[in-house]
Amino acid sequence: MQLNKLKETDWDMLVSWWDAWPNWQAPPKRILPDNGTGGFVVEHEGEFIVAGFLYFTNSEGCLIEWIISNPNYKHRENRKTAIKHLITSIEEVAKSQGATWVFNTLQHPSLIKIHEELGYTKDPKPSYELSKNL
């Protein structure tokens, strides 16, 4: 599996992925790192499988967000491997830029499980994501 930096030409593909999954909506490009190119996509045998974004902060912490997978990709085990590859690769990019801590907000149970398998700690108390358009 190969990790690629997102390009401007990948945007329509990502939107189609978000739109295809129930209860998901594509975020506006303007709220994503580097206007939608501040992330990565995992490719295997010429097919894009999963993508996610890395937000840098003015601290040693980073956020991994907006992980989305290709809804038409049929190989379940490869999808899980690709998600793990994406997360661990983004961690390495963050670490190489001086980050010592990563954070992610998640809702999907299988993504939560994958993160836990990779050593992430899930707070036992539920929390809520709050946002506001300015």
Q: Is the pLDDT of residue 130 over 90?
A: no
pLDDT at 90: 97
Q: Is the pLDDT of residue 128 over 90?
A: no
Q: How far apart, in whole angstroms, are the C-alpha atoms of residue 21 and residue 19?
A: 6
Average pLDDT (1-24) is: 94
Domain boundaries, the chain: 2-117
CATH number of 2-117: 3.40.630.30
Query: With the C-alpha atoms ordered 112, 26, 54, 58, is the resulting torsion angle positive or negative?
Result: negative
pLDDT at 76: 80
CB 102 within 8 A of CB 61: yes
Q: Is the pLDDT of residue 132 over 90?
A: no
Across the chain, which distance is largest between two alpha carbons, in Å? 42
pLDDT digit string (tens) for 15-69?
999 999 888 889 999 999 999 999 999 999 999 999 999 999 999 999 999 999 9
Pairing assessment for the beta strands 61-69 and 101-103 based on DSSP bridges: parallel
Q: Is the pLDDT of residue 75 over 90?
A: no
| 79-27-39-77 Cα dihedral, nearest 10 degrees | 0
pLDDT at 133: 80
Average pLDDT (119-132) is: 85
pLDDT at 77: 82
